Amino acid sequence: MIRNIKNWLNKEILDPGPLSLLINPYYFIKKGLIRGLRQGSTYIKGKTLDFGCGKRSYSSIFSTDSMIGLEVMQSGHLHDTEPIDVFYDGQRIPFRSVSFDSILCIEVFEHVFHPTAILTELNRVLKSGGHLLMTIPFAWEEHEVPDDYARYTFFGISHLLASHGFRIISLDKSSSLVETVFQLWNLYLYKKLVKHKIIAVLLIPFLIFPTNLCGLLLSKILPRNYDLYLNTIIIAQKIENSSK
């Protein structure tokens, strides 16, 4: 019973449904992220590299011939319970050139200290014309410290990808400014204001739901503005015959 409830709560947090409005302290960030991944999922085909796969929480969104999960040996958290296929040293991806039809990179690139070197590697193992689906946080707390190194604007990530043999197909922001403000307030309430886990669970309906509801309603009523946002969602294609 308890396990079933826990599984249901985890599902609602990762993939927000209508009930998530009541209980999910990450409602806006997960809603925008899932929407972007689903929209980009049509580009993920064939043999796919899940770069920085972690728990592979979003793998059910994608239908591919095969997906290989790659993780760095040393990172900001333990990998004991994660379904990782291959570990690497954080520098060279241990696969032959042009091995993959597509690459996933979900909430990983902020943890990459040498982005130019890794983009060179991602370009190398991707087939010409293959696609990269990447998401990165913009307005979010430091996490997996001390291995949290960067936040990228639209312009910064576009320049990095273009200078490493990728053509931008789509570049989107996952949330409006209003949604972002209310999500950050919920983050504060859930993680900083209430320290005790049991108290946090009991208070969720009284703290989280009003914030989610107000944020949702105001995001519909107020003028849309995207100067501040939670995540960037990028779809890029390796330029034909590009080799970086």
Angle CA(136)–CA(87)–CA(163) in degrees, nearest 5?
Answer: 40
Angle between helical axes of 2-14 and 27-40 (0-180°, round to 10): 70
The DSSP code sequence of 138-181 is: SS----STTS------HHHHHHHHHTTTEEEEEEEESS-HHHHH
**Band of the pLDDT at 63, cuts 50, 70, 90?**
confident
pLDDT computed for residue 65 by the predictor: 77
Centre a 10 Å sphere on the Cβ of residue 193 and count the other Cβ atoms it contains: 10
pLDDT digits (tens, 9 = 90+) for 182-221: 999 999 988 876 666 666 666 777 888 999 999 999 999 9
**Topology annotation, domain 44-175+229-238:** Rossmann fold (3.40.50)
pLDDT computed for residue 199 by the predictor: 67
For the four alpha carbons of 96, 97, 99 and 102, in that order, the dihedral sign comes to positive
Q: Where are the domains of the chain?
A: 1-41+180-226, 44-175+229-238
Question: What's the mean per-residue pLDDT of the chain?
Answer: 89
pLDDT over threshold 60, residue 21: yes
pLDDT computed for residue 15 by the predictor: 76
pLDDT over threshold 70, residue 16: yes
CA-to-CA separations, 73 to 39, 137, 226, 236, in angstroms, rounded: 31, 22, 36, 27
8-12, 30-34, 91-95, 156-160, range with the lowest pLDDT: 8-12
Question: In the chain, where do the E strands start and end?
Answer: 47-51, 66-72, 86-88, 100-106, 126-137, 166-173, 231-238
Q: Which residue has the higher pLDDT, 104 or 5?
A: 104
